[in-house]
Amino acid sequence: MWVRLLDPLSSYSGSAGERIRAMVIESPECAGAETIAVGTLVEGEIKAVRRLGMGILHQTAQLEVDFNRLKAPDSEIAIASKILEIDNARETVKNGVIHGVNATNTPQGRITGRLTHLPTWNPYGDLALVAYRVAFPVFPEPEIYLPPGTDVRLELTAPLLVPEQQRGAPQDGTADEVDRAVLEITVSELPQRTTTAHGQPADIVNVALLGTKEQMEAAFRAAGWRSSDPTTTKSVFHEMYAIMAFTNYAQAPVSKQLMGGADPAATWQKGLDSYQKREHLRLWARNDVIEGQTVWLGAMTRETSAALSVRQHRFIHHIDEDLDGGRAIVVRDLSLAGCVAAVYYVQRSEAEHVAMNATGDPMRTDGSLAVLQLKDCENPVYVRTANGTPVATRPRSKLARYVDAGSCTAQSFGEDHAGAARRTETAAA
């Protein structure tokens, strides 16, 4: 199941035994209803924490959290679980333990580290490279910090019997039958794929929103999504820094795609702390489908990694091939924000179920179009707020952070040099 943090998690200021709360936002369905009701409180404690500090004893931070009970107003259920994944995070999860990033594992660190291994005459001496990386450090923040609103996927590790009062109920939103009938009749005439600027088939159209522009914008803002910046010199430099520092650019531009030769009317995205990972949605406004309403057709994908494409001469993102999982995130987030009146799915008989996008990534879908009838946002299940007690995420002193980066750099260079020496001895033998 997916839960959303209500309290922040920090390896720098967290301590074993610290209480952590989260909220169930998605669980497996049974008979059309959530197994565990959305909004159910999940509680746990930090089981173990490891700060990076000076990076002398270890090079990555760690956090282990034990979510061990479901809370209801009049009851409490013990559960056994482990963390499987953190949505859009640069951190990794292994055996339920969250591992932070290596402060020296950046493009700058990898390039300068490998220069020391050049054969024959080497103009880049070790001391010069250490001085360069310490004088001009571009390092990710190595401590782990997951703010409230972070989505975490849990796996139950023991059977759980959920009482009836804590199970979800089927959605009670009633779709407008006239709108539904019109969409089902006209869906075959709607575009099924977006295209690149060169006319190459790109993403699959899998989402439709019914509502005004004001309702659409309010829904995504309430759900914590951000609009995308246009591609400019400033945004390109911002992207380059995010790549070098392994951090997030919350409003990063998206690549150019067209629908019927037109640019999207809006682009929305959700990230956390990684440039490589995000959910994003391009929307095109159509006023010729349902009279009197704007239909926002969208192509939703989850980006899972980024790499430099030699063929395209730029950084490209790779996507999760499960498009239906990404589509479900849009439905879930806007519903949690209280901005959806009804959700239904329109089948497209001629839709592609397996395809390739413009960069060669496979895509898989059931071919249906998720239709969300929007409303003015009210009674949200989850409210995004800046209130609460702030926690320290890293040393407040810039000098201390600089010294930590320098220590990690020196240690990394020592390991690189020792590894190079071992490889040289092995080759000689």
Mean pLDDT along residues 253-270:
95
Q: pLDDT of 330-346, one tens digit each? A: 999 999 999 999 999 99
CA distance 365 to 326: 10
**pLDDT value at 129 more than 80:** no
**Integer angstrom CA distances of residue 74 from 6, 77, 165:** 20, 11, 10
Position 177: which residue type?
E
Most confident of 114-128, 310-324, 382-396: 310-324
Sign of CA dihedral 383, 389, 390, 391: negative
Which CATH number is 1-104+145-170's, of 2.40.128, 2.40.50, 2.60.40, 3.40.50? 2.40.128
Sign of CA dihedral 247, 249, 253, 259: positive
Q: pLDDT of 357-399, one tens digit each? A: 999 999 999 999 999 999 999 999 998 776 556 788 776 665 5
For the chain, the first-to-last Cα distance in angstroms comes to 53
How many H helices and E strands in the chain? 7, 25
Q: pLDDT of 147-201, one tens digit each? A: 999 999 999 999 988 877 778 776 667 888 999 999 999 999 999 999 999 999 9
Report pLDDT for 172. 61
Calculate the CA dihedral of residues 142, 235, 195, 342 and round it to 10 degrees. 70
Confidence at 121, pLDDT banded by 50, 70, 90: very low
Q: What is the 3-state secondary structure (H, E, C) of 45-65?
A: EEEEEECCCCCCCCCCCEEEE
CA 419 to chain CA centroid, nearest Å = 34
Report pLDDT for 192. 95
Of 152, 166, 168, 144, the C-alpha closest to 44 is: 152
User: Beta strand pairing status for 41-50 and 81-86?
Assistant: unpaired
Q: Residue 299 is encoded by which pair of tokens? A: 């192509």
Confidence at 278, pLDDT banded by 50, 70, 90: very high
Mean pLDDT along residues 294-304:
96
CA distance 44 to 66: 5
**Residues counted in the chain:** 429
CA distance 112 to 11: 29
Q: pLDDT of 189-236, one tens digit each? A: 999 999 999 999 999 999 999 999 999 999 999 999 999 999 899 998
CA distance 302 to 363: 11
CA distance 318 to 275: 12
Report pLDDT for 115. 47
Nearby residues of 375 by Cβ (< 8 Å), 6 or more positions away: 211, 215, 339, 340, 341
Q: Please identify which residue in the block is written with the tokens 């990404």.
A: 326
CA 349 to chain CA centroid, nearest Å = 31
Report pLDDT for 122. 47
Residue 338 DSSP symbol: T
Of 67, 66, 80, 65, the C-alpha closest to 24 is: 67
Q: Please identify which residue in the block is written with the tokens 């589509």.
A: 327
Nearby residues of 30 by Cβ (< 8 Å), 6 or more positions away: none
3-state secondary structure (DSSP) of residue 248: coil
CA 189 to chain CA centroid, nearest Å = 33
Cβ 3 vs Cβ 154: under 8 Å = yes
Q: Is 349 exposed, middle or buried (0-12, 13-18, 19+ CB in 10 A)?
A: exposed
Nearby residues of 153 by Cβ (< 8 Å), 6 or more positions away: 1, 2, 3, 83, 84, 85, 86, 87
CA angle 21, 22, 25 (to 5 degrees): 165
